[in-house]
């Protein structure tokens, strides 16, 4: 936890000295367009929110050191096959090195796209604690936000909101 706070302080200092991208101009709110995302995947490929337009998107912010994340991720991974044809999953690791994220995602076998956030997306998506789940419909509108460990019932209810019932 101390590492996250120290890193968060460094990111805050960076935000003071360098303005964030336009993402900060769009507040995170249910019923509003999702703030833009411009990150790199664990493999180094660019990821933007715009590339998911026209398809529902489930975004899960996490970190390898986060206890609740380690509890909920196996459930999310288990749900992925049932939803992957209707919803894109995007995991966003907060403030960790590519090596840490690669090792962690391989260890728990995350099958969906993982992005690395050095801070700007976390700032735009108001990440004050982890994990955090964002449910975005096919038009890019935020339909639900869940802070903390997500229960199976809440996960399924919100997936049904963005993807419809199977």
Q: Tokens standing for 136?
A: 């975005």
Class at the top of the CATH hierarchy for domain 2-163: alpha beta
Residue/partner pairs of 119-122 with CB below 8 Å, 24 or more apart = 119/11, 119/14, 119/15, 119/95, 120/20, 120/21, 120/23, 120/24, 120/38, 121/23, 121/35, 121/37, 121/38, 121/39, 121/61, 121/92, 122/11, 122/61, 122/92, 122/94, 122/95
Q: What per-residue confidence (pLDDT) applies to 164?
A: 82
Q: What per-residue confidence (pLDDT) applies to 21?
A: 37
12: pLDDT strictly greater than 90: no
97-116 pLDDT per residue, tens: 999 999 999 999 999 999 99
pLDDT interval class at 25 (50, 70, 90): low
**Residue among 99, 90, 123, 134 at smallest CA distance from 8:** 123
Contact 155, 79 (CB under 8 A): yes
Contact 115, 47 (CB under 8 A): yes
128: pLDDT strictly greater than 50: yes
Chain position carrying tokens 């833009």 = 36
> Cα dihedral sign for 30, 89, 5, 26?
negative
Domain ranges of the chain: 2-163
Do you find a cis peptide bond into 71, omega within 30 degrees of 0?
Answer: no
Q: What does the pLDDT average to over 49-56?
A: 95
């Amino acid at each position: 936890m101390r590492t996250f706070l120290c890193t968060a302080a460094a990111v805050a200092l960076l935000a003071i000295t360098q303005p964030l991208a336009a993402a900060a101009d769009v507040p995170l709110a249910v019923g509003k367009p999702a703030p833009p995302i411009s990150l790199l995947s664990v493999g180094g490929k660019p990821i933007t929110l715009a590339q998911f337009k026209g398809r529902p998107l489930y975004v899960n912010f996490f970190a390898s050191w986060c206890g609740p994340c380690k509890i909920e991720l196996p459930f999310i991974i288990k749900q992925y096959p049932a939803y992957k044809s209707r919803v894109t999953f995007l995991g966003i690791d907060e403030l960790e090195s590519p090596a840490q994220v690669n090792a962690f995602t391989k260890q728990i076998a995350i099958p969906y796209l993982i992005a690395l956030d050095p801070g700007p997306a976390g700032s735009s998506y108001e990440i004050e604690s982890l994990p955090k789940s964002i449910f975005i419909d096919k038009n890019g509108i935020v339909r639900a936000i869940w802070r903390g460990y997500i229960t199976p019932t809440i996960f399924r209810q919100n997936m049904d909101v963005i993807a419809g019932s199977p």
